[in-house]
Amino acid sequence: MKALKPLIVALDVETDKEALALAKRLKGEVDLFKVGPVLFLKYGGGLLRDLRQVGVEIFLDMKFHDIPSVVQKAIERAGEWGVYSATIHTVGGFEMMRQAAAAKNRPLLWGVTVLTSLDQSDLEQVGVTRKIDVQVEQLAQLAQQAGLNGVIASVRESALVKKLCGPTFQVVTPGIRLVLGGDDQKRTQTPQDAIKAKADFFVMGRPIIEAKDPLVAVQEVYKNLANSDTTSSSPRR
Catalytic (active-site) positions: 63
Closest C-alpha to 88, from 63, 58, 114: 63
What is the average per-residue pLDDT within 168-182? 81
Q: Where does the pLDDT of residue 231 fall: very low under 50, low under 70, confident under 90, or very high at 90 and above? A: very low
User: CATH second-level architecture of 7-229?
Assistant: Alpha-Beta Barrel (3.20)
For residues 202 and 32, the answer to whether their CB atoms sit within 8 Å is no
CA dist 77 and 84 (Å) reads 13
**pLDDT bracket for residue 220 (50, 70, 90):** very high
What is d(CA 29, CA 9) in angstroms, rounded to the nearest whole number? 10
Q: What is the mean pLDDT of residues 205-220?
A: 94
The pLDDT value recorded for residue 116 is 83
Q: Is the pLDDT of residue 104 over 90?
A: yes
Q: Quick: pLDDT tens for 140-166.
A: 999 999 999 999 999 999 999 999 999
List pLDDT tens digits, range 113-143: 998 888 899 999 999 989 999 999 999 999 9
Is residue 188 within 8 Å of residue 116, measured between CB atoms?
yes
Q: How far apart are CA 235 and CA 198, in angstroms?
A: 6
What does the pLDDT read at residue 232?
40
Quote the pTM value.
0.90
Give the three-state DSSP class for 128: coil
Q: What is the largest CA-CA distance in the chain?
A: 47
pLDDT digits (tens, 9 = 90+) for 70-99: 999 999 999 999 999 999 999 999 999 999
Q: φ, ψ for residue 227 (rounded to 5)?
A: -90, -5
**What's the chain's average pLDDT?**
91
**pLDDT band of 237, cuts 50, 70, 90:** very low
**Whole-number pLDDT of residue 179:** 60
Q: What pLDDT, in 10s, does the model give residues 36-76?
A: 999 999 999 999 999 999 999 999 999 999 999 999 999 99
DSSP string, 52-104: HHHT-EEEEEEEE-S-HHHHHHHHHHHHHTT-SEEEEEGGG-HHHHHHHHT-T
Residue 29: name the closest of 48, 69, 56, 47 by CA: 56
Return the pLDDT at 186.
52
Q: Which helix (H) or strand (E) holds 32?
A: strand 32-35
Print burial letters for 84-99: b (CB count within 10 Å at least 16), e (below 16). Answer: bbbbbbbbbeeebbbb
Distance CA 158, CA 163 (A): 9
- Count Cβ neighbours within 10 Å for each residue of 130-167 and write b for 16 or more, e otherwise: eebeebbbebbbbbbebebbbbbbbbbbbebbbeebee
